[in-house]
Amino acid sequence: MLRHPKVLDARTTLEEARAALTNDHIHMVLLTEGSTLVGTLVRTDLPHPIQGSGHGSDQGSDPALPWSTLRNRTVPPSTSADAVQELLIARGLRRLAVVDHDGALLGLMCLKRSRTGFCSDEDVASRAWSRRPAD
């Protein structure tokens, strides 16, 4: 389980959520109020921007939270890794948030692309380190 997943504030806009999901390693945006998970977003949850509406808006400044869900996207910490892996594969997802009984975000289970195991905090740190510009 990733113990420090990237989170966005519950007031995140659609534009900010779309921007976060342009990173090919981010499959789910976690929206929080304090330590409480209040919503999750995947690419298919977001509405398509309205292009050329003549109103000067493409919904980008609208809040993302109404488009989010927690249904089928969380598990309690007592769920085994094998059970999480089965759920993810059955649901066609690669991420499930781990929340306690009060809804506090504890971490994120991230199924590797190969679907044979889970990403670790070390994997994420290594990717971040490798993307740093050379000095």
pLDDT digits (tens, 9 = 90+) for 8-32: 999 999 999 999 999 888 889 999 9
Q: For position 56, what pLDDT does the model report?
A: 43
Does this model's pTM top 0.75? My answer is: yes
Tell me if 86 is assigned to some domain.
yes
How many domains would you assign to the chain?
A: 1
Tell me if 54 is assigned to some domain.
yes
The residues near 105 (Cβ < 8 Å, ≥ 6 apart) are: 5, 7, 30, 32, 35, 36, 37, 97, 98, 99
Tell me if 74 is assigned to some domain.
yes
DSSP state of 65: G
CATH number at residue 74: 3.10.580.10
What is the mean predicted confidence (pLDDT) over 62-84?
Answer: 96
Q: For position 125, what pLDDT does the model report?
A: 76
Q: Which of 93, 86, 50 shows the shortest CA–CA distance to 69?
A: 93
For residue 103 the two structure tokens come to 């809804």
Tell me if 2 is assigned to some domain.
no
Tell me if 1 is assigned to some domain.
no
| Domain, as residue range, for 120 | 8-130
Q: Residue 54's pLDDT band (boundaries 50, 70, 90)? A: very low
